[in-house]
Homo-oligomer: A and B are copies of this chain.
Amino acid sequence: MPTQRLTSPSTGRVVKAILFDTFGTVVDWRSGVARDIAAFAAARRITVDPAAVATQWRDLYQPAMEEVRSGRRPFTTLDVLHLENLQRVLTANGFNVNDITAADLHELNLVWHRLDPWPDSIAGLADLRTRYLIGPLSNANLVLLADMAKRAGLPWDVIIGADVTRAYKPQPEAYTRAADILNLRPGEVMLAAAHNSDLAAARDAGLATAFIPRPTEYGPGQTLDLVARQAWDVVASDLVDLAVICKSP
C-alpha cells in the first residue's frame, strides 16, 4: 500500500481508510428511483410525478430508522423498512397495493440496489483505492450495497452494512464499529459525505471528515448541504477532486 496519504488535521492521524456515505454521495438515488417508479406507474396506467414519489419514499427513511435507533423496534434492515415505506407511498399516490403482487412490490423495492453513480464516482473511487482502503458507510444493508456495487461497478475493497454494525447513522456506533472492524482507530478512518449532519456525527465519533457537495441530490430546488457548514478536514468538489486532494502528503 502506498504511503502517500493524507494526515487529518482534526484527528492528527494518517488516514488509512476512506468510507463513503452512499445514497446521495456516491449514487443518485432520486433519478434512479424515479426511473423505476415511472415504469411501474406507466405499466399500471397510473399518473404520478415520479421524482415526487421518489422524494416521498425517501422522506419516510429517517422516521423508519428512528424507530430502530430509539430502541422501540429491534434492528430491521433497510430493505425491510423500504418495503414498508413503499407500500405507504404507493397507497398515497393512488395505487391499490392489494392488487399488486408481492413479487412486483419486491422487485420495485430493489430499485435501491439498482442506483447509478454520479458521473465522477467510479473514477474518483478507483483513484482513491490505489492509496486507501475504501468502502461504503451507509445505512443500507450489506446485500443492497453489494448488489449496487456489482451492477454499477463501484470498486469497493470492503462493504460494511448497517446489518453488520447493527447501528444506524448518526448513532456513534455506526462509525466506531466500522473502524473497529477494520482494526483502525476512528481517526484513521475518514467519512466522505454530501451531508453536513452525517459528517458532524462522524467527527463527534472521532473520524476524519470530507465534504463533497451534491447540489442536485434533491433536485433543482435543493437548499440543504450546498456548502460545507464546518471546517471539515477536506472539502472537495467531487470524488475525482477528492482523490487529487488525498494524494497530497
- Point out residues on A near B: beta carbons under 8 Å: 1, 79, 133, 135, 141-143, 146-147, 149-150, 157-161, 163-164, 181-183
Contacts and interface: CB of A to CB of B under 8 A. Distances in A.
A182 B161 CA distance: 11
Contact of A133 (B135, B146, B158, B163): B146
A143 B79 contact: no
Contact of A158 (B1, B143, B183): B143
Contact of A149 (B1, B157, B183): B157
Contacts of A146: 133, 135, 157-158, 182
B142 A181 contact: yes
Given A79-B183, A183-B79, A142 B158 contact: yes
Given A133-B150, A157-B150, A163 B142 contact: no
Contacts of A160: 142
A159 to B, nearest CB: 6
A164 B177 CA distance: 11
